[in-house]
Amino acid sequence: MLTEEDVIWGYRLCLNREPESDGVIREWIGNVGDRASLARALISSNEHVANNGALQSPFWHYHTSFDPIALIKKYARRDVRSSPSHVTNFLGVKVRPNVFPALLSGQVGTVERVPLPANWHADIAEWGSCLRALDLSGDRFVMLELGCGWGCWMNNLGVAAKSVGKKIHLYGIEADATHLEYARQALSDNEILHHEYVLVNGIAGKSAAVALFPKVQSGIDWGGSAIINPTMEQLDNASHSGAFVSIPVIDIGNLLKDEPRIDLVHIDIQGAELDLLREVFSLLCEKVRYVFIGTHSKQIEAGLFEIFLTNGHWKLEMERAAIFHISDGVPVVIGDGIQAWRNVRFQ
C-alpha cells in the first residue's frame, strides 16, 4: 500500500512540487495500489509533460539489445475501435474500469495512444520486452504469467499473437480470487477462448504446500506479497487476525509438464522474485525461451544478475533500473524496475 511519504516524494520527483493538500494525498493512497502506478500516473500527467517535456520521463531511459519502439509500432493496430464499456489500448485489448477504477473510470469509451514512453500500467521497456518474446516465438505462442492480476499480459500478448495468426496457450497464476475473476472476464471480453488459457488460484512455487496471502481490496491493491511455508505461529496469527487467506502453492513444473517449450514467463510477484527464481531456475533453463522480471528493490536487481549471468544459458536483452528516492540514507523504490533475459539454448 502507498504511504503519505510515497505520495509526497512522487510529487517532488515527478512534478517538482508538494501535493496540494492532505486530501489529495489521501485520495492517491485510497485509489492507487502501488508506487509504480503512482509514478506512471504522475509522469504521464499533462502537468509533468508541460513542465518537463516528455523526454524527461525516466521511462525513456533503459538499456537494450533490440529496438523496443519498433516492436511496439509493429504490433500497434490501425483498426482499433472504441468500446462503450471499456478502455481500449493500441493492440485492441479491452479493459474494464473495475480493474483500476481510480485511473480508468474517466477513460471508458476511449482508445489509448501508443505507450511512448508509458501508459497506466507499463512502459517502453516492459511493452518492448514482452512483445520481443512474442516476436521470437514460432507459429504457437505459449506463456506463463505469475501474479497475473487481471490477466494483463495474457490478454495483451494473446490478442497480439492472434492478430498475426499465431495459435496461443496462456497460463496465469494469481493469489487473489477476485482478481482472477477479473482475468477470466477480460479474456472473455478479448475473445480468448476457454481452450486457449488456464487460470489457477494460488502462489507459484515448487516445494511448499500452502502459503498465506493478505486480503486485498480488489481493483485497488495489487501489491500483496505471500508468506511461503508459514510457521505454525504465523498460521495461528493469520487465523486470529483474519488478515490473510490460505492458498495452495502451485508447482509450475507440473502445471507446464505437457509443454515442450515456454516462450515467455512473466514474473511480477511483489518482491518474491529472487526466492522463486532460485527454486525453479533449472526448469527455466530447460524449457523457457524468455523471462521477464519486475524488480522491486536494488537487492533483487543485483541478485538477478548473479543468477542469470553465472549460468551461461542467458543473455540480458532489456534492463531499466528501479526508480527510487533516498529516505534517511535508504533507497525507497517508487517505480519498479525490469529485466528481460533470453535463453540462448533456444535460437
**DSSP for 108-167?**
TT-BPPP-SSB-SS-BHHHHHHHHHHHHHS-SEEEEEEET-TTTHHHHHHHHHHHHTT-E
C-alpha angle with apex 241: 237 to 242, nearest 5 degrees?
120
For residue 259, what is its C-alpha cell? 509443454
Cα-only R_g, the chain: 19
Q: How far apart (Å, rounded) are the C-alpha atoms in residues 157 and 143?
A: 9
Alpha-carbon gap, residue 165 to 172, rounded angstroms: 22
> How far is the C-alpha of 40 from the C-alpha of 117, rounded, in Å?
10
**Beta-carbon count within 10 A of 142 CB:** 23
Q: What are the distances in angstroms from CA 277 to CA 85, 151, 263, 269, 305?
A: 38, 21, 17, 11, 12
Query: From first to last of its 347 residues, what are the pLDDT tens digits of the chain?
Result: 678 888 888 888 778 788 888 888 888 887 776 777 787 788 777 677 666 655 568 888 999 999 999 999 999 999 999 999 999 999 999 999 999 888 888 889 999 999 988 888 899 999 999 999 999 999 999 999 999 999 999 999 999 999 999 999 999 999 888 999 999 999 999 999 999 999 999 888 765 566 665 655 544 444 455 555 555 565 556 555 656 677 788 899 999 999 999 999 999 886 678 888 988 999 999 999 999 999 988 899 999 999 999 988 999 999 999 988 888 898 888 888 999 999 999 97
- Residue 174 CB: number of other CB atoms within 10 A? 26
Nine cell digits for residue 57? 520521463
What's the CA gap between 99 and 150, in Å, rounded?
7
Q: According to CATH, what is the number of the domain 4-343?
A: 3.40.50.150
Other C-beta atoms closer than 10 Å to the C-beta of 77 total 16
In three-state secondary structure terms, 227 is strand
Q: Pull the grid cell for residue 188.
A: 472473455
Give the relative orientation of helices 4-15 and 35-43 as an angle to the nearest 10 degrees: 30
* Cα–Cα distance measured from residue 205 to residue 267, given in angstroms and rounded to the nearest whole number: 12
CA 2/CA 58 separation, integer angstroms: 20
